[in-house]
Amino acid sequence: MEFIANRITIDDKICNGKPTIRGKRISVQTILEFLSAGEEKEEILRQYPSLESEDIDACLKFASELMNRNFTIKTVA
């Protein structure tokens, strides 16, 4: 299991290897989708009582760090 930002974990045995929060079955993608839909942090924490405010901050930091990388798009036949 790999830890990122002390809260984001990647384990191929949990959620098919998607980044999750502290090894729980709550993916970073799920939290980011809630936020992008306009959901407030407090509402997400109410829906997922095992989460902490810092977990949501870690999801945002994780996404931001992914966007700091360079990507190359290639045409595939």
3: pLDDT strictly greater than 70: no
The H helix count followed by the E strand count for the chain is 3, 3
What are the structural domains of the chain?
2-67 (1.10.10.10)
Angle at 4 between CA 38 and CA 29, to 5 degrees: 30
- pLDDT, tens digit, 9 for 90 and up, residues 14-42: 999 999 999 899 999 999 999 999 999 99
Q: Write down the pTM of the prediction.
A: 0.83
Spatial separation of the C-alpha atoms in residues 1 and 9, rounded to whole Å: 7
Burial of 48 (0-12, 13-18, 19+ CB in 10 A): middle
